[in-house]
Amino acid sequence: MSPGVVDYLFRQLVAGKPAEDIEWQREGPALAEEPPGAELARRLGETELEALTPLELFEYVRAAQRLEEWAGRLREAAVELYCSPGRLPGGRPA
């Protein structure tokens, strides 16, 4: 375990709190339940990876994969629109 995880677990134990990260619960849905989009990207970007437990790190990776798939679908839709014959700038048909 990383020093950050050990430190977090120790602080939780001393405070009599569970080992799970409850900050995400206070902020909104768990990462596993957060729908892909800007909010999930923000939460992933602000997360201190070294402080995550192994289970939380696993959930983090899964959430990042969901976000990547979502962004890929957005990109594909934009490329398809861009490559459509007869399209002018601004999305107007020719």
Regarding pTM above 0.85, the answer is no
Q: How far apart are the first and last CA of the chain?
A: 59
34 φ/ψ angles, rounded to the nearest 5 degrees: -70, 125
| pLDDT given at position 62 | 95
pLDDT, tens only, 16-50: 876 665 555 566 678 888 999 999 999 999 999 98
Residue 24: the pLDDT is 54
Distance CA 20, CA 29 (A): 14
What pLDDT, on the 0 to 100 scale, is given for residue 55?
87
> Which pLDDT belongs to residue 31?
82
